[in-house]
Amino acid sequence: MTSTHHPDDEHWMRLALDLAVRGQGYVEPNPMVGCVLVKDGVCIARGYHHVFGGPHAEVDALQSLRSPDEAAGATAYVTLEPCCHHGKTPPCSEALIRAGVTRVVVAMRDPFPKVDGGGIRQLRQAGIEVTLDVLKADAEALLAPYLKRVRTGTPWVIAKWAMTADGRIATVSRQSQWITGAESRRRVHRLRGRVDAIITAMGTVEADDPMLNSRLMDADGTPMTPPRVAKRVVFCRRRLPALQSKLIHTADAIETWLFTSPLVDGERLAALRQRGARVFALDSDDPQSMVRQTLQRLGEQDMTNVMIEGGAALLGSFWDPTSGECLVDEFHVYIGAKLFGGVTAPGPIAGAGLGPIDLATKLALSQVDRFEDDVRLVYRRALG
């Protein structure tokens, strides 16, 4: 059975979407999903997918009821089509049918091949009313990384940089610490703590000797455990990390993956592997080809979100100014309350740069935050 939207459907679905966000960083490669059970106009249960391998949102909501009988006759609001296959958990469609819900409102269908309309069919065949596409655009925005990986096999790419109010990422003498304040840097560590991989290049490794890990702190400065530990991915086009670098020194504790071109010194790879680094040999030394091959490999490893932590040259390799094609999906731009000036002071993206302005990558602003005198702008690449 199908049904039309009810006046309160968007209200309850928005609550379900707010719940879904709580799983960010914990549930990937699964999607973030929230569920609200409503009966006689009252919310009787809330649930969301807490952690990969744990109960899905629908089951989490049902399990929070004092008695399973309470769900009989209720409406379930779910941000993504209920699964209908046996994976790490049993099908959610069957759980809703057994619970006796009479209506299910779904924000969007799940394109995952093992679902892709199957959950909706099961519910309708059981005589349950199904309403689709309530706040669909909001659900698609929330699930964009998951949807990209399912549809293309590659992860969602996030670029982060800090720049001055006049657009410089370093002074003319290449000094860059610190452009932004402490709170901005804490937000970057939050981002590091929810992605699957942090991508950098040898220029940054040699210049900064970074750890590229998430060092989360609470308000009192106490260290916190991040939702996930990102793998560290290094593009090695001509050079390899030194054995004494922090990345290699800690490779046995934090996975460190080196993506190498045919130009690197192969004799040094054995020593790096012995220290714990994992090496992926690419068949090209063209920067954009290396990026494409690497993203495909990361997608094959079930990575959903990856972020770029590097300089202007690395960012430039994710962008083709000749065609205007950009391989970055989301941009976190931190603007510090400083001015550097200087015609030779670097900007965030290097390379040849654009000729015709009509090839410019178009962005859509999705979020604005202020941290003391810093501003964070979150953009997504505009479609179409």
Q: What's the chain's average pLDDT?
A: 93
- Can you read off the two tokens belonging to residue 192? 């590091």
Using 50, 70 and 90 to split pLDDT, how confident is the model at 357?
confident
Q: Average pLDDT for residues 303-331, to the nearest whole number?
A: 92
Terminal Cα distance for the chain, rounded? 35
> Does position 2 have pLDDT exceeding 60, yes or no?
no
Using 50, 70 and 90 to split pLDDT, how confident is the model at 59?
very high
> Does position 1 have pLDDT exceeding 60, yes or no?
no
Per-residue pLDDT tens over the stretch 232-246: 999 999 999 999 999
pLDDT, residue 285, reads 95
Per-residue pLDDT tens over the stretch 121-163: 999 999 999 999 999 999 999 999 999 999 999 999 999 999 9
Contacts 24+ apart (CB under 8 A), 241-250: 241/202, 241/205, 241/272, 241/277, 243/271, 243/272, 243/275, 245/205, 245/209, 246/209, 246/210, 246/211, 247/205, 247/210, 247/211, 247/212, 247/277, 248/272, 248/275, 248/276, 248/277, 249/275, 250/211
Using 50, 70 and 90 to split pLDDT, how confident is the model at 209?
very high
Catalytic residue positions? 58
Considering only residues 165 and 87, tell me which one the structure prediction assigns the higher pLDDT: 165
pLDDT, residue 221, reads 74
> Does position 327 have pLDDT exceeding 80, yes or no?
yes
Using 50, 70 and 90 to split pLDDT, how confident is the model at 89?
confident
Q: Provide the whole-model pTM.
A: 0.93
pLDDT, residue 334, reads 97
pLDDT, residue 3, reads 63
Using 50, 70 and 90 to split pLDDT, how confident is the model at 307?
very high
Per-residue pLDDT tens over the stretch 22-48: 999 999 999 999 999 999 999 999 999
Percent of the chain with pLDDT over 90: 82
The residues, ordered by sequence, that sit 6+ positions from 274 with a Cβ below 8 Å of its Cβ are none
